[in-house]
A and B are shown apart, each in its own frame.
Chain A
Amino acid sequence: MNLINGKLYDNDAALKALDELPALILEERKKPFLPPERVIAACGRLGRELGEEHLALLTGMGIREEKARRELEFAREMLSEEYLRERLAREGVSFDEASFVPFGQKSPVRQRLLPLGTLLHIAAGNVDALPVFSVLEGLLTGNVNILKLPRDDGGLSVTILLKLMEYEPAIRGRVFVFDFPSENIDALKKTAAVADAVIVWGGDEAVTAVRRLASPDTRIIEWGHRLSFAYVSGFVTDEALSGLAYNILDTDQLYCSSCQGVFVDTEDENELPYFAERFADILEKKAEEAGFSHDLFIRAQKTLELYTDGLEAEKTGARIIKKRLVSVTVIRDSELAPSHMFGNPWVKPLPRSLVPDALIKHKGRLQTAALLCPESERAELEALLASCGLTRITDGARMSETYCGLPHDGEMPLMRYVRIVSFD
C-alpha cells in the first residue's frame, strides 16, 4: 500500500507518482513546518485509542500474549502527550529561539533549531512497528517524511499513519509512503534525491546499499545493527542470572540490545563449564515458566545449528549444554559474535585485562552490556566497558527495556533530525 497526500495508491500508480514527488514536497516545504504540539496531540489521541482490540494485531505477528500486552501498554505510554513532551525536552529539542552575546563580541546573536527538511526513512523489518516510530520522530522534529516500507509490512504502518492523518489533517502532506521493493534502485534514488537525509535502519547490506545510492549532498543517518552481551565477574546471584535469562527469552536474542552471550572475567577456562551448567539450568527453568516455544521451522533450524556445532566440537573444542528448550555453548575464544539466538547464548572467557583487546576492534558495533558483578567492583568495570565503546551499561533484566530520554546508540536521535540556524 502506498500513501500520497493522504490517499491510497496501488504500486503501479505510486511508481508513476514518484515523478511528481519533488513538486509535491516543494509545495509542502513552502508552508511553515508543523509544530510538534500538533503532532503530539494526534499521537496522544492515537495512544488513548489503543485497546484490547489491537492485541490481536500483535499476537497475529507471532508475539506471545503476555508480551503483546506489555508492548501495547508501552506503546500507549510512548504515544502519550506527557511522554513525548518529556522526550523532546530530554533530547534537547526546542524550537524556541535563544539569544546570547558571543565570546569577545558586543552584539547578541540568535540561534534556533529548525527541521532538517525532508527525511527518507528506510526501515528494515516490521517488528515493533519500527517504520511508524521512525516517521513519528521525523514528524516530531517538523520534517516532511518519505517512508519506504519494508517487505512484508502487512499494512500496519499505513493503517497507523492514516489514523494520525485523520486526527491531524496537516500530516497528510507531510508523510508519503511507498511500497516498492528494495531492488528497485531507480525508485529508491528518486526518493533519496528529494531528501535532505536518509535514515536507514538495518544490517550492513541495507546500510551499504544506501551509501551507494545517496548522492553526496544527502546526509545519511544510520541506525545499523549492534551487538550486546553480559559481563560477569566474581560471584553473581541466581536472581541476577535470572534477569539475564529474562532478556534472552523475552527478546529471543533478536534485538541489538539483546544479550548474545556471557563473557566471564576469568583466566581459568575450567571455571566456564560450571558457570555454563548453572546458567543453563536457570535459563531452562525460566523458559519453562514463561512457556517459551517456537514454531517447527525455527526449532528445526536451531537443532541443525547445534547439531552441526556438536559435529565440529572435536575440532573447535566447543561444549554444548543442550536442554529441552534452550542451550548454552561454552566456546574457548574471546570473540564477540552473534549467538544462534532464540534461547541459545554462548559463554566465553574474557579476563578484565583483555577487555579492550576483545572489544575496541568492534567499533560501531557495540551497544549494551549487562554488568553482573559485586558492588565493590562495579565502578571500575563500568568505566572499563564504557571506555571500550559500549553505549549502555545496565543489569540483565533491563538490557532491552527503555526509558524516556534513553540515548540511542550513544546519540539523541531527535537532535540528528534538526539543524541549528544562526541569525546574526
Chain B
Amino acid sequence: MDIRRKLFLKRDPYSRGKDEGLFVRAVREQVKRNAAGSPEYAAILASRSFSPDELVSEEDLGRLPPLPTLFFKRNRIFSVPEKKLVVKAFSSGTKGARSEVGLDLSSLLYGIMMMFRLFSLHGVISPIPTNYIVVGYEPSKHSDMGAIKTAYGTTKFAPALHREYALRDTGTGYELNPDGVFRALMRYSRQPFPVRFVGFPAYMYFLAKSLKEKGISLKLPKRSMVLLGGGWKQFSGEEIDRGSFHKLIEETLGIKKERCLEFFSAVEHPHAYVRCPSGHFHIPSYTRVIIRDADTLEPVPEGTPGLLNFITPLVSSMPLASVLTDDIAVYGTSPCPCGNKAPYFDLLGRAGVGGIKTCAASAAEMAVKK
C-alpha cells in the first residue's frame, strides 16, 4: 500500500497525533522513488553525499538537500515519463523564467483528497450553489499559469452558478472587466445564493475600494466568502493592513472577517496554508517547515528569520520533497489565540532587493546608470 494513503487521508489535517515516524517514512520513500526516476536528482543527492536512508527521524529532514524554486525555474526535472503527467502548471515568473510542475495521477489524487479534508475543515467545501467573482484571470488556451488553475479550481469547492472574471480572456490576452464584475455583483446581490470572491488580494482590495468610492454597501447572503491567495507584490505601494482590509470588505460586501480566508501556496509546493485570524499560517500534518539561515542554509531555531523550506511526501512525479522558496519566514510553536495547536510560520517578505533601493524587479534590470 502506498504509504501516502495513510498520511493524506488523516481525518484532522492539523493533528499530528501518533505519527510514529509515518511522515519521515513517507518522505524517505518518495525521495527514493524520485531519485530512482531521475538520474539528475540522484546525482544531486550524491554530490551532497546524501543517502535517503539517512532519513530516520524528523530531525533528519533538515539534511535532505532542498531544491530551490529558482532551480525549477531554470531546469525541467521529472522522475516519471512525461506521458504519465496528468496535470501541468507553470509559475507566474517574470522574464520568462517559470517553473514547470507536473503531477502524475497518484500525486493528484492524494493532493485532491488532502485539499478536501483541509478545505472542509475551513468551511470551504459546500453543496450550496454559489455565484463567483474571480478577482483574477479567466482560464484560457493561451495561458497556463498555476495561479489561474488554482483560482478556477477554487470555484469547484461549491457548485458554480455563474463565474465572472476581473480579467477577461480576449482570445490573445487579457482585459480588465470592471463593468462586467460590477453588473454581476449587483445581479448576485439580488439572488438568495452565496457569493464567493476568489483570487488575488490586491484585486480584491481594488474591487472593494471602488465599491466604497461609489458609495455602495451590499449585504451579501450570509454564507458568502472571500478566498484569496498570492501576494500583494504587484501593488506593494497600495498594501494596507489586514484590519482595514477586512473592515473595507465588511462595509462594502457585508462579509465578516471570519469568512475571509487567505491562502499561501506555491506551484512548486502543491499544498495550501490558511492564514488564521492571528495572521499565522498553521502547518498541516501533511507537511513540515524548516527555516534556513540566509547565509549558510543551515536550519535555524524557532523565532529566527530565514528562508522558508517546505517538506512533503506528496509528489511522486517530481523531486518536490524538499523545496526551498525565496520567502523569508519565521517558525513558531507558541500557543496561538486562534486555538489551532499546530506549529505555524509567519511570512516576513521575499528574498531580494527591496523597493527602496531600486524600482526594477529583476537583477539584470537593477544596474542603474552612472
Residues on A with C-beta less than 8 A from B68 are 304, 307-308, 311
A152-B295 in contact (CB<8A):
no
B328-A300 in contact (CB<8A):
yes
Residues on B with C-beta less than 8 A from A61 are 356-357
**When the two chains form the complex, which single residue of B44, B65, B237, B294 contacts A299, counting CB atoms closer than 8 Å?**
B294
A311-B359 in contact (CB<8A):
no
Residues on B with C-beta less than 8 A from A308 are 68, 70-71, 74
Interface string of B355-369 (1 = CB under 8 A from A): 111111001111111
Report if B216 contacts A (CB, 8 A).
no
Report if A62 contacts B (CB, 8 A).
yes
B367-A258 in contact (CB<8A):
yes
CA–CA, A304 and B67, complex, Å: 10
With A62-B356, A303-B294, A312-B74 known as contacts, the answer to whether A297 contacts B328 (CB < 8 A) is yes
Report if B121 contacts A (CB, 8 A).
no
Residues on B with C-beta less than 8 A from A141 are none
Report if A150 contacts B (CB, 8 A).
yes
Tell me the smallest distance from the CB of B331 to a CB of chain A, in Å: 15
B352-A297 in contact (CB<8A):
yes
Residues on A with C-beta less than 8 A from B71 are 308, 311-312
A304-B70 in contact (CB<8A):
yes
Report if A227 contacts B (CB, 8 A).
yes
**When the two chains form the complex, which single residue of B351, B355, B368 contacts A301, counting CB atoms closer than 8 Å?**
B351
**When the two chains form the complex, which single residue of B65, B297, B305, B354 contacts A303, counting CB atoms closer than 8 Å?**
B297
B353-A299 in contact (CB<8A):
no
Report if B47 contacts A (CB, 8 A).
yes
Residues on B with C-beta less than 8 A from A146 are none
Residues on B with C-beta less than 8 A from A305 are 70
**When the two chains form the complex, which single residue of A255, A297, A338, A400 contacts B363, counting CB atoms closer than 8 Å?**
A338
Which chain A residue has the least Cβ–Cβ distance from B324?
A304
Interface string of A279-300 (1 = CB under 8 A from B): 0000000000000000111111
CA–CA, A127 and B359, complex, Å: 10
Report if B43 contacts A (CB, 8 A).
yes
Residues on B with C-beta less than 8 A from A205 are 365
CA–CA, A161 and B81, complex, Å: 63
CA–CA, A304 and B72, complex, Å: 12
With A130-B369, A201-B369, A304-B326 known as contacts, the answer to whether A297 contacts B349 (CB < 8 A) is yes
With A124-B368, A300-B307, A304-B70 known as contacts, the answer to whether A314 contacts B43 (CB < 8 A) is yes
A151-B359 in contact (CB<8A):
yes
Residues on A with C-beta less than 8 A from B65 are 311
Report if B370 contacts A (CB, 8 A).
yes
CA–CA, A314 and B47, complex, Å: 9
Interface string of A292-331 (1 = CB under 8 A from B): 0001111111011101100111100000000010000000
Report if B350 contacts A (CB, 8 A).
yes
Tell me the smallest distance from the CB of A359 to a CB of chain B, in Å: 17
A255-B70 in contact (CB<8A):
no
Report if B306 contacts A (CB, 8 A).
yes
Report if A169 contacts B (CB, 8 A).
no
CA–CA, A203 and B352, complex, Å: 18
Instruction: List A residues 152-205 near B (Cβ within 8 Å).
Output: 152, 154, 201-205
B370-A128 in contact (CB<8A):
yes
CA–CA, A115 and B96, complex, Å: 42
A254-B351 in contact (CB<8A):
no
B360-A125 in contact (CB<8A):
yes
Which chain A residue has the least Cβ–Cβ distance from B308?
A300
B363-A128 in contact (CB<8A):
no
A255-B368 in contact (CB<8A):
yes
Tell me the smallest distance from the CB of B41 to a CB of chain A, in Å: 10
A254-B367 in contact (CB<8A):
yes
Tell me the smallest distance from the CB of B206 to a CB of chain A, in Å: 13
Report if B51 contacts A (CB, 8 A).
no
Report if A226 contacts B (CB, 8 A).
yes
Report if B340 contacts A (CB, 8 A).
no
Tell me the smallest distance from the CB of A96 to a CB of chain B, in Å: 31
Interface string of B66-84 (1 = CB under 8 A from A): 0110110011000000000
Report if A225 contacts B (CB, 8 A).
yes
Instruction: List B residues 332-351 near A (Cβ within 8 Å).
Output: 349-351
Residues on A with C-beta less than 8 A from B353 are 297-298, 301
Report if A223 contacts B (CB, 8 A).
yes
A127-B357 in contact (CB<8A):
yes
Report if A145 contacts B (CB, 8 A).
no
Report if A341 contacts B (CB, 8 A).
yes
A152-B351 in contact (CB<8A):
no
Residues on A with C-beta less than 8 A from B349 are 297
With A257-B370, A297-B328 known as contacts, the answer to whether A62 contacts B67 (CB < 8 A) is no
CA–CA, A202 and B307, complex, Å: 30
Tell me the smallest distance from the CB of A280 to a CB of chain B, in Å: 16
Interface centre among B43, B351, B354 (most CB of A within 10 A): B351
Report if A256 contacts B (CB, 8 A).
yes
B365-A203 in contact (CB<8A):
yes
Tell me the smallest distance from the CB of A133 to a CB of chain B, in Å: 10
Interface centre among B74, B354, B370 (most CB of A within 10 A): B370
With A130-B368, A296-B328, A301-B326 known as contacts, the answer to whether A152 contacts B355 (CB < 8 A) is yes
B367-A227 in contact (CB<8A):
yes
Report if A340 contacts B (CB, 8 A).
yes
A203-B369 in contact (CB<8A):
no
CA–CA, A125 and B361, complex, Å: 11
Tell me the smallest distance from the CB of B294 to a CB of chain A, in Å: 4
Residues on A with C-beta less than 8 A from B370 are 128, 251, 255-258, 400, 402
CA–CA, A254 and B369, complex, Å: 9
CA–CA, A151 and B237, complex, Å: 9
With A297-B328, A300-B306, A312-B74 known as contacts, the answer to whether A124 contacts B360 (CB < 8 A) is yes
Residues of A within 8 A of B (CB): 61-62, 124-128, 130, 150-152, 154, 201-205, 223, 225-227, 251, 254-258, 295-301, 303-305, 307-308, 311-314, 324, 338, 340-341, 400, 402
A-B contacts, 25 listed (Cβ < 8 Å): A125-B358, A127-B357, A152-B356, A225-B364, A225-B367, A225-B369, A251-B370, A255-B369, A256-B370, A295-B354, A296-B305, A297-B349, A297-B353, A299-B294, A300-B326, A300-B328, A303-B294, A303-B295, A304-B351, A307-B68, A307-B297, A308-B74, A338-B363, A340-B363, A400-B370
Known: A62-B356, A128-B368. 20 other contacts (CB 8 A): A124-B360, A127-B358, A151-B359, A255-B368, A296-B328, A297-B328, A297-B351, A297-B353, A298-B352, A299-B295, A300-B294, A301-B353, A303-B297, A303-B307, A304-B307, A304-B324, A304-B326, A311-B44, A313-B47, A338-B367
